[in-house]
Amino acid sequence: MNRRIGRIIMYGIFVMIGVLLWSSISKTFFLPSLWTLEIAQFAMVAYYMLGGPYSIQLGSNVRMDLFYGEWSARRKAQVDAITVLFLIFYLGVLLHGGLTSTAYSLGHFGGDAYGFLTGLLTGSSELGFLERSPTAWRPYLWPIKTIMCIGVFLMLLQAIAELIRDIAKLRGVEI
């Protein structure tokens, strides 16, 4: 799934180019558009968050090769297995915060994302107003926060897959 999403989202760079080109043209020749900066930011967030898992899957993420490049495959797998545990913990905390923030942006003010999600499923969740950006354009924030949560979840799945792959390498099993 990360491969398919990553292959589609990599064309998001053209969306950002188009929005920023329009922003430059409108500021030069017409009245400046209020929406261009925020749409470019939202497109960059989607590009980064949904493209990150695909980048990890391809192994094109940035590593410190000062020592890493000289290590054996087994030593690399040992270090990767340990560091990916830190990544999984970080992504778990980030996903919890993202779900809470998304619940808030959808109008749930209880502070518990899981209570909000179960309330939505049972139909008993109390909703307030939908959160909007404080800028002049004032777009709703729940769509980009939802995309961020999906991206973090996909990154978490990819990190777990990398951990399984590293453990298999350590055991001598080829995946």
| pLDDT for residue 125 | 55
Strand, helix or coil at 29? helix
Q: Who wins on pLDDT, 12 or 117? A: 12
User: What is the distance between the alpha carbons of residues 89 and 74, in angstroms, rounded to a whole number?
Assistant: 23
Given a cut of 80, whether residue 109 has pLDDT beyond it is no
Strand, helix or coil at 132? strand
Confidence of residue 121 (pLDDT cuts 50, 70, 90): low
Tokens describing residue 102: 């998304």
Given a cut of 70, whether residue 128 has pLDDT beyond it is no
Q: Taking the CB of residue 108, how many other CB atoms lie within 10 A of it?
A: 21
pTM of structure = 0.83
Per-residue pLDDT averaged across 109-122, rounded?
61
Closest CA to 106 of 131, 87, 81: 131
- Residue 129: DSSP 8-state: P
Per-residue pLDDT averaged across 110-129, rounded?
61
| pLDDT for residue 89 | 97
| pLDDT for residue 82 | 95
| pLDDT for residue 59 | 83
| φ/ψ (deg, to 5) at 140 | -70, 145
Distances (CA, A) of 40 to 43, 150, 168: 5, 19, 41
Per-residue pLDDT averaged across 36-65, rounded?
88
Given a cut of 90, whether residue 32 has pLDDT beyond it is no
| pLDDT for residue 37 | 86
User: What is the distance between the alpha carbons of residues 163 and 125, in angstroms, rounded to a whole number?
Assistant: 37
Sheet strands (E) in the chain: none
Confidence of residue 110 (pLDDT cuts 50, 70, 90): low
Give the pLDDT confidence of 85-96 residue by residue, as tens digits: 999 999 999 999
